[in-house]
Amino acid sequence: DLTNDIIDAYLLFGEDRVCLPKYYEEREAEVENFEIRNDDVIVASFPKSGTTWTQEMVWLLKNDLDYEGAKINIIDRFPYFDLPETCNRNCKQFFNDLRNKSGTRFWKTHLPFSLLPKQIRDGSRTPKIIFVMRNPKDAFISYYHMGLCAMGWRANREDFAKVYLADKVMYGSYWRTVHGYCNMRHLPNLLILKYEEMIKDLRSIVQKTCAFLEKDPLSEEQLEKLCAHLSFKSMKSNPAVNFEQVINERKRYNPTINGSFIRSGKVQGYKEEMSPKLISEFDEWIKKNIENTDFDERYAY
């Protein structure tokens, strides 16, 4: 039963009681005490909120639009801090490599603010952090599909919703993550982006992020080329960001796995997939939690 499998696989970490795999115990201290540099660049999110999209934008802006360099897989350019296994390295080796890396270090994380390394939380280091958030129903549906396509789940949406709404999915709770970063909105080194605004007006978000990263403004031509590179269609067919290799590898072991990581890229796509009953359950949950977040009501429901 998916519900029990998921719940059994996790422990709760930190004051926010974040649901993480048991093996996180081994790296909790490593993350907590990791030496941060002020020129580190971090993309943070709750899973399935447009993390990869944001990473690609940030990496290209910070690297002076090096499209050649961007052909290297995003996992190697912009590793996943809290899940080194996805970078094909063991935990110790991963953190050592990151420690020894010269130049700007980029990493992504799904950790809530309360579990970020101590030096970030106490403000003694001020790396640039870009937090991206997305409508929780769309993030839920995207998470569900990732389960089907990357993990071979066979649960239905209703069963997965029970786990999701109970904060028992990996990195749950959705709201504690969103509240944690939104509460820190006063930090000059934190930029909060919304997936829906990126869909609506990518140009403005690119310009805003460019200024946040303290880079020179882009020319019209550069802006156009970058937005085309970041378009859904272009990212879907770009092997450096679409996790094609990872998914194909998993398909070899589990032929029921189907689908792609860059899937549909829609705002309110959940409407095509959730029953009215499930939508109203989510809406109740959103209503209870939306206060004091940076959500625009238009996007949250």
Q: Which residues are catalytic?
A: 110
Q: How far is the CB of 65 from ligand A3P (least distance, A)?
A: 17
- For residue 50, state whether it binds ligand A3P (rule: CB under 6 A): yes
Closest by Cα among 199, 203, 202, 55 to 135: 199
Kindly tell me which residue out of 53, 106, 153, 282 binds ligand A3P, with binding defined by CB under 6 A.
53
- For residue 149, state whether it binds ligand A3P (rule: CB under 6 A): no
DSSP result, 43-74: EEESTTSSHHHHHHHHHHHHTTT-TTGGGS-H
- For residue 265, state whether it binds ligand A3P (rule: CB under 6 A): yes
Kindly tell me which residue out of 263, 267, 279, 281 binds ligand A3P, with binding defined by CB under 6 A.
263
- For residue 262, state whether it binds ligand A3P (rule: CB under 6 A): yes
- For residue 192, state whether it binds ligand A3P (rule: CB under 6 A): no
- For residue 109, state whether it binds ligand A3P (rule: CB under 6 A): no
For residues 102 and 128, what is the distance between their CA atoms, to the nearest angstrom?
17
Give me the torsion for CA of 243, 162, 84, 46, rounded to 10°.
80
Close Cβ partners of 222 (under 8 Å, ≥ 6 residues apart) = 65
Close Cβ partners of 158 (under 8 Å, ≥ 6 residues apart) = 275, 278
Closest by Cα among 21, 40, 131, 139 to 86: 21
Which of left, alpha, beta for 184 (phi over 0: left; psi -120 to 50: alpha)?
A: alpha
Alpha carbon separation from 20 to 32, 103, 170, 229, 271 (Å, rounded): 15, 30, 5, 33, 29
What residues are paired with 50 via a beta bridge?
none
- For residue 209, state whether it binds ligand A3P (rule: CB under 6 A): no
> By CB under 6 A, which span of 70-78, 166-174, 217-225, 263-271 interacts with ligand A3P?
263-271
Close Cβ partners of 50 (under 8 Å, ≥ 6 residues apart) = 132, 134, 193, 195, 198
Structure-block tokens of residue 160: 């997965």
> By CB under 6 A, which span of 8-16, 61-69, 88-96, 260-268 interacts with ligand A3P?
260-268
Cβ distance to ligand A3P smaller for residue 126 or 260: 260
Cβ distance to ligand A3P smaller for residue 50 or 127: 50
- For residue 293, state whether it binds ligand A3P (rule: CB under 6 A): no
Binding mask 230-259 for ligand A3P (x = CB under 6 A): xxx--x------------------------
- For residue 137, state whether it binds ligand A3P (rule: CB under 6 A): no
Cβ distance to ligand A3P smaller for residue 49 or 289: 49
- For residue 125, state whether it binds ligand A3P (rule: CB under 6 A): no
State the residues that interact with ligand A3P by CB under 6 A: 45, 47-53, 138, 142, 145, 230-232, 235, 262-265, 269
